[in-house]
Chains A and B, each alone.
Chain A
Amino acid sequence: MATITLDTVRKVYAGGVEAVKGVSIDIADGEFIVLVGPSGCGKSTLLRMIAGLEEISTGEIRIGEKVVNKVDPADRDIAMVFQNYALYPHMTVYNNLAYGLKNRGMAKDEIDRRVKEAARILEIGDYLDRKPRALSGGQRQRVAMGRAIVREPAAFLFDEPLSNLDAKLRVQMRVEIKRLQKSLKTTSVYVTHDQLEAMTLADRLVVLSGGNIEQIGAPIDVYDKPASTFVASFIGSPAMNLLKVRKGAAGLELETGSGLTAANPYGRDRYTLGVRPEHLSLVEAGVPAGALTLKATVNVLEPVGAESYLYASCGGTGQEIVIRVESHARFEPGQEITLTAQAKDVHFFDADTGRRVES
Chain B
Amino acid sequence: MYKSKLSDHLILILGSVLMIGPVLIVFLTSTHDAVEVHRFGLMASWGDHFTETYNKVLFKEGGFTGQVTGVRMLINSLILGIGFGIGKIVLSMLAAYAIVYFRFRMGTFFFWVIFTTLLLPLEVRIMPSYEVVQQLGMLNSYSGMIVPLLASATGTFYFRQFFKSVPDELLEAARIDGAGPFKFFIDILVPTSKTMIAAIFIIMFVYGWNQYLWPMMMTNDEAHFTLVRGIKQILLVWVGSQIPEYNEAFALAVLAMLPPVLVVLIFQSWFIKGLTESDK
- CB pair A100–B280 under 8 Å, yes or no, is no
- CB pair B280–A78 under 8 Å, yes or no, is no
| Min CB gap B252→A, angstroms | 41
Tally the A-B contacts, defined by beta carbons under 8 Å.
61
Known contacts A100-B178, A103-B177: A82-B187 contact under CB 8 Å: no
Residues from chain A with a CB closer than 8 A to the CB of B170 are 86, 88
| Min CB gap B9→A, angstroms | 33
Known contacts A84-B167, A86-B170, A86-B172: A99-B192 contact under CB 8 Å: no
Residues from chain A with a CB closer than 8 A to the CB of B169 are 82-84, 86
Interface size class of B (residues with CB under 8 A): 10 to 19
Residues from chain A with a CB closer than 8 A to the CB of B192 are 88-90
CA A324 – CA B172 in complex, angstroms? 45
Q: Which residue of A lies closest to B166 (CB)?
A: A89
| Min CB gap B216→A, angstroms | 42
- CB pair A74–B279 under 8 Å, yes or no, is no
Taking CB atoms and an 8 Å cut-off, the chain B residues in 164-183 that contact chain A are 167, 169-170, 172-179, 183
Known contacts A89-B192, A133-B279: A80-B178 contact under CB 8 Å: no
B191 within 8 A of A: yes
Query: B219-238 vs A: 1/0 string, CB under 8 Å?
Result: 00000000000000000000
Known contacts A82-B172, A88-B188, A89-B192: A100-B177 contact under CB 8 Å: yes
Residues from chain B with a CB closer than 8 A to the CB of A78 are 176
A51 within 8 A of B: yes
Q: Which residue of A lies closest to B187 (CB)?
A: A99
Residues from chain A with a CB closer than 8 A to the CB of B187 are 99
Interface size class of A (residues with CB under 8 A): 20 to 34
CA A52 – CA B191 in complex, angstroms? 26
A104 within 8 A of B: yes
A79 within 8 A of B: yes
- Partner of A74 from B167, B175, B188, B194 at Cβ < 8 Å: B175
- CB pair A99–B167 under 8 Å, yes or no, is no
A73 within 8 A of B: yes
- Chain B CB within 10 A, most for which of A78, A79, A80, A104: A80
| Min CB gap A103→B, angstroms | 4
Taking CB atoms and an 8 Å cut-off, the chain A residues in 123-152 that contact chain B are 133, 147
Residues from chain A with a CB closer than 8 A to the CB of B188 are 88, 90
- CB pair A74–B280 under 8 Å, yes or no, is no
Q: Which residue of A lies closest to B280 (CB)?
A: A89
A53 within 8 A of B: yes
CA A91 – CA B192 in complex, angstroms? 9
Q: Which residue of B lies closest to A80 (CB)?
A: B176
Q: Which residue of A lies closest to B278 (CB)?
A: A89
- CB pair B177–A51 under 8 Å, yes or no, is no
| Min CB gap B192→A, angstroms | 6
CA A104 – CA B174 in complex, angstroms? 12
Residues from chain B with a CB closer than 8 A to the CB of A73 are 172, 175-176
Residues from chain A with a CB closer than 8 A to the CB of B191 are 90-91
Q: Which residue of B lies closest to A81 (CB)?
A: B173
- Partner of B177 from A82, A83, A99 at Cβ < 8 Å: A99
| Min CB gap B119→A, angstroms | 33
- CB pair B172–A74 under 8 Å, yes or no, is no
Q: Which residue of A lies closest to B173 (CB)?
A: A86
| Min CB gap A145→B, angstroms | 13
| Min CB gap A52→B, angstroms | 8
Taking CB atoms and an 8 Å cut-off, the chain A residues in 71-122 that contact chain B are 72-74, 78-80, 82-84, 86-91, 99-100, 103-104
Binding site for B on A (CB under 8 A): 51-53, 72-74, 78-80, 82-84, 86-91, 99-100, 103-104, 133, 147
24 contacts between A and B (CB under 8 A): A51-B172, A72-B175, A73-B172, A73-B176, A74-B177, A74-B178, A80-B172, A82-B172, A82-B173, A83-B169, A84-B169, A86-B167, A86-B172, A86-B173, A88-B170, A88-B174, A88-B192, A91-B191, A99-B174, A99-B179, A103-B177, A103-B179, A133-B279, A147-B173
9 closest Cβ pairs, A-B complex: A100-B177, A86-B169, A103-B178, A74-B178, A90-B191, A86-B173, A82-B169, A73-B176, A73-B175
